[in-house]
Amino acid sequence: MSLSETFGAKARRQLLGSIPVTVGLVILGALVAASALAQLVAPYNPKRATGGINEPPSLTHLFGTTGQGQDVLSQFLYGGQNTLWVAFSIAVLTTLLALIVALTAAYFRGWVDDLLTLVTNVFLVIPGLPLVVVLAAFLPPGPLTMIMVLTITGWAFGARLFRSQALSLREREFIAAAEDVGESRWRIVAIELLPNMGSVVAAYFVNQVIFAITAQASLEFLGLGDGGQITWGSMLFWAQNSSALIRGAWWTFVVPGMAIALTAFSLALINNAVDEIGNPRLRADRLMRRAGVRKPSATLMTPVKRDA
Amino acid sequence: MYYIAKRLAFYVLAAFVAITVNFFLPRLTPGDPASTIVATYSTSLNAESLAALKAAYGLTDEPLLQQYLSYLGNVLRGDFGRSLSNFPAPVMAVIGAGFGWSILLGLTSVLLSFVLGSVLGAIAAWRRGGWFDRLTPPVLLFLGSFPYFFLALLLFYVFCFKLGWFPMGNAYSSVNPPALNLAGVGDILMHLIAPAFTIVLVSLGPWTLNMRNAMIGVLSEDYLTLAEAKGLQPRQVLLSHAVRTALLPNITALGAAVGAVFSGQLLTEIVFTYPGLGYSLMRAVSAVDYPLMQALFLIITLSVLAANFFVDTLYVLLDPRVRTGGEA
C-alpha cells in the first residue's frame, strides 16, 4: 500500500486502462477545463440579463436563461471556477489539519492521543449542517468564510482514519527497525510513517473535494453564500428562490445540479479504481473472477476499533 | 453496563461542548454581531424585549461567567430564548410543531434506507460477481454523488409537478393536521413518500456497500462452511448465520450516519416545503433570526446525540461480545 506500489509503472498502466477511471478523468477534465477557460469561452456576462426570463435552451442560449434573464451556460462556466477553487482549498486544508492531528496523536501517544481522539470524536458526532449554518451566519459571507467554516467542521473523519492507519503502521517491523537504530521520533513520523500513508491520504483528499463541493452547495442553497458571487450552489439557490420548479424551468437547476453531481461522481469513480489497485485483496478478487472462480474468497476487513 | 455508561458520559460531554460553542459564538466572533443584531431590532422591539435580547447576547454588565451559568440553567430548563422573526414567541414554540414532522420523516427514511441497503448488500454479496453485484456499486455511487437537495429538486419536478403523482409540498392537505383515522394517515403518507424516497435514494449507497463487504468477510468464515457442511438450507445459512453477523458493522455505521442524513434531510424538507425543522432553519437564515438558528443547532445536535446513544444501546443488545463486558 505504499506510494510507490500504488503509483508504480504497472499500477499506472492498470489505472489508465480501466474504464471507470477513463470515464472519471474525461468528465473531470472537461469540467475543470471548461471552468478554467470561462473568461474565454463564456458567451455572455453571467451577471447581466442577456435574454428573456426563463427561456428554454436554444441556439442563442445553449442552456437557456434564468429567472433573471441571465445566460445559464455562462453562469455554469464562471460558477465552476468559483466552486472548484473553494472546494479544492477546503480539501487541501482539511487533509492537512487531519494529518497534523493524527500524526501529533501518533507521535506523542499517551494523554495527548487520548485528548485529540476525544476532540475528534466530539466533532464527528455533532451534526455538520446545523453547526455550519450557525458558524456561517455569524461571519461575513464570502469564499473565505466558506473555506474556514467547512475546514473547521470537515477534518474529523480524516483524523480518525489517519490515526488508525498510523497506529497499525507503527506495529510493523520497519518502524521497530528505525527505532532500534535510534532514529528520532519526528524522523520516524515524517520519513517512515507519512510516505506509507500516501494512498490513504490521496483517497481521503479526493473524498474531501466531494464533501467540499456538496457542503458548499448546501450552504449556498440555504442562502448562506455570498449572494453576489456566481457558484453552482448559488445558481441552485436562485433557481429555487425564483420558483423555477413550478414554472417548469428545469434547465436552471438541472445544469448546476448535474455539474455538482458529475464532478462528485467522476471523483468517486477515480477513487474507487485507485482503491482497487492499491488494495491487493480487491484486485486478487477481480483476477479470480476473471479466471472463472466463483467461490467467495477470504476478504479480510481492516478492523476499526470502536472507541470513545 | 460499563460500556453504556462510558458512551453516555461521552455524549454528555459532546452536548456540553455544543452548548458552550453556542454560548460563545455570538460573543467571540469578529465584527461584534451581537451589537448589530440588537441595533437592527432596536426600533421594532419594546424596551423589555430589547433588554431580553441584550441579555441573550451578552450586552450587559454581568460578568461572563455569570452569563454562562444562567445560560446553562436556561438550556437545562428547555428555555432557548425568543424568536426574533416571530417575536415574542419563544423559540421552542416555533420549533415544536416542526420537530414532530422531522422525526417522522427522518425515522421513516433512515429505517427504510437501512433495511433496503442491508438487503441489497446481502444479495450482492451472496450472488457475488453476478450482474446484480456488478451493477449495484456504480449506480449507488452515482446516486450518492447527488447533493440531497438536488435529487429532491429533480424528483419534485418529475413526480410532484410534471406527473402529479404526489402533492406539491406540505405534510397534509388540510389546513390543520388531519385526524389519525384511515384517510388522515393515508394523506400524511402521500405527503411523506416523495421526500422520504429522496433521502433513501441518496443515503442507500453506504449501507449497501458496507453490508456487501461485511458479508463477503463473513462468508469466508469457517463456521459458514460448517453450517453448509452440516446440511443447512442455503436460506438458513444466509439468514441466521451470515446476515446476523454482517449486520453488526452496519448498525455501528447507523449511529454515525444519523447526523449526516439529518443534515441532508433538512435541505430535502426545504425543497418539498415539508413543515419540519429544515423549514424553520431556512426561515431562520432568511430572516437572520439568530436565536432561532442557535436553538435549532442545539435541538438538532441533542437529538442526534440521543439517536447515537440509542444505537449504541441497541448494539449492546445485539453483540454478545460487548454485552459480556469484553473490551469496548
The answer, as to whether pTM is greater than 0.90, is no
pLDDT at A66: 78
Interface membership of B253 toward A (CB under 8 Å): no
Tell whether B128 and B224 lie within a shared domain.
Answer: yes
Closest CA to A34 of A77, A68, A75: A77
Asked if residue B287 belongs to a domain, the reply is yes
Nearest of B287, B127, B130, B146 to residue B205 by alpha carbon: B146
- Residue B105 near residue B111, CB atoms below 8 Å: no
Taking the CA atoms of residue A33, residue A35, residue A38 and residue A42 in that order, the dihedral angle to the nearest 10 degrees is 100
Residue A100 to residue A107: CA distance in whole angstroms: 10
One domain for residues B176 and B233: yes
Predicted confidence (pLDDT) at residue A301 exceeds the cutoff of 60: no
Is residue B17 in a domain? yes
CB contact under 8 A, A308 and B10: yes
Q: Between the CA of residue B279 and those of A128, A242, B99, B262, what are the distances in Å?
A: 17, 17, 10, 13
- Number of Cβ atoms within 10 Å of the Cβ of B307: 22
Place of cell 415539508: B274
Helix intervals (H) in B131-181: 131-144, 148-155
- Residues B303-325 have pLDDT tens digits of 888 888 888 888 777 776 666 65
Closest CA to A146 of A75, A95, A77, A221: A221
What is the per-residue pLDDT for B213? 80
Residue B20 belongs to a domain: yes
Same domain for B193 and B115: yes
* SS3 of residue B90 by DSSP: strand
Tell me the C-alpha distance between A213 and A231, whole Å.
10
**Within this chain, do residues B18 and B141 fall inside the same structural domain, yes or no?**
no
CB A191 within 8 A of CB A181: no
Q: Judge whether residue A218 has pLDDT over 50.
A: yes
- In chain B, how many H helices and how many E strands? 14, 0
In this prediction, residue A8 carries a pLDDT of 55
The answer, yes or no, to whether the previous bond of B177 is cis (omega within 30 of 0) is no
SS3 of A187-198: HHHHHHHHHHCH
Furthest CA-CA distance within chain B:
82
| Sole residue written with cell 470537515 | A154
Whether B258 shows a pLDDT value over 70: the answer reads yes
Angle, CA A282 vertex, CA B214 and CA B206 arms, to 5°: 40
Q: Distance from A286 to chain B by nearest Cα, in Å?
A: 9
Task: Compute the distance between CA of residue B328 and CA of residue B321 in angstroms, rounded to an integer.
Answer: 9
Q: Which chain B residue has the Cα nearest residue A210?
A: B145
Could you tell me if residue B194 is inside a domain?
A: yes
Which of the residue ranges A116-120, B60-64, B206-210 would you say has the lowest mean pLDDT?
B60-64
CB-based contact B277:B300 (threshold 8 Å): yes
Q: Is residue B324 included in any domain, yes or no?
A: no
The pLDDT, as a whole number, for residue A11 is 59
Q: What is the pLDDT of residue A308?
A: 34
According to the model, what pLDDT value does residue B44 have? 67
CB < 8 Å to A118, chain B: 10, 13
Decide if B161 and A245 are in contact by the 8 Å CB cutoff: yes
> Which residue segments constitute the domains of chain A, with CATH numbers given?
3-299 (1.10.3720.10)
A230, A46 contact by CB (below 8 A): yes
Residue B198 lies in a domain: yes
**Minimum Cα–Cα distance from B304: chain A residue:** A127
B61/B135 same-domain check: no
Indicate if ipTM > 0.95.
no
Residues B38 and B120 in one domain: no
Per the CB < 8 A criterion, the answer to whether B259 and B266 are in contact is no
Could you give the count of Cα atoms lying within 13 Å of A193 in the half-sphere of its Cβ? 28
Does residue A287 surpass a pLDDT of 70?
no
Asked if the structure places residue B326 within a domain, the reply is no
Q: Last residue of a domain, which of B31, B54, B77? A: B77
Q: Are A260 and A232 in contact (CB under 8 A)?
A: yes
Comparing alpha-carbon positions, the chain B residue that sits nearest to A135 is: B25
**Are B41 and B157 part of one and the same domain?**
no
DSSP string, B267-328: HHHHHTT-SSHHHHHHHHHHTT-HHHHHHHHHHHHHHHHHHHHHHHHHHHHH-HHHHTT---
Task: Report d(CA A37, CA A77) in Å as an integer.
Answer: 8
Q: Judge if B9 and B154 occupy the same domain.
A: no
Contacts of B285 in chain A (CB under 8 A): 133, 137, 222-224
Q: For A144-162, what is the mean pLDDT?
A: 89
pLDDT band with cut points at 50, 70 and 90 for residue A171: confident
Give yes or no for residue B270 having a pLDDT over 90: no
Domain residues for the domain of B17 are 2-77
**Nearest CB to B301; choose among A121, A126, A139:** A126
Give how many domains chain B has, as a whole number: 2
Give the cell for residue B37: 443584531
pLDDT digits (tens, 9 = 90+) for A83-131: 999 999 999 999 999 999 998 888 788 898 899 999 998 888 888 888 8
Among the three residues B27, B48, B77, which one is the final residue of a domain in this structure?
B77
CATH of the domain at B176: 1.10.3720.10
Is B325 inside a domain boundary?
Answer: no
Residue of chain B whose Cα is closest to the Cα of A157: B256
**B50/B151 same-domain check:** no
Note the Cα B98 to chain centre separation in Å: 14
Pair (B113, B206) in one structural domain:
yes
The torsion angle over the Cα atoms of residues B134, B139, B145 and B149, rounded to 10 degrees, is: -150
Domain ends where: B42, B77, B112? B77
Instruction: Give the closest of B153, B252, B305 to A125, CB-based.
Output: B305
pLDDT value for B22: 83
Contact present, B320 and B244 (Cβ < 8 Å): no
Count other Cβ atoms within 10 Å, centred on residue A51.
Answer: 18
Residues 159-188 of B with CB under 8 A from A: 161, 168
Q: Are residues B127 and B240 both part of a single domain? A: yes
A contacts of B297 (beta carbons < 8 Å): 130-131, 133-134
Asked if B151 and B299 sit in the same domain, the reply is yes
pLDDT tens digits, one per residue of B278-288:
888 888 888 77
Angle, CA of B289, B283 and B104, to the nearest 5°: 120
Q: Do the chains contact at B21 and A137, CB–CB below 8 Å? A: no
* Structural contact between residues A277 and A199, judged by C-beta atoms closer than 8 angstroms: no
* Residue B192, CB-side half-sphere exposure with 13 Å CA sphere: 17
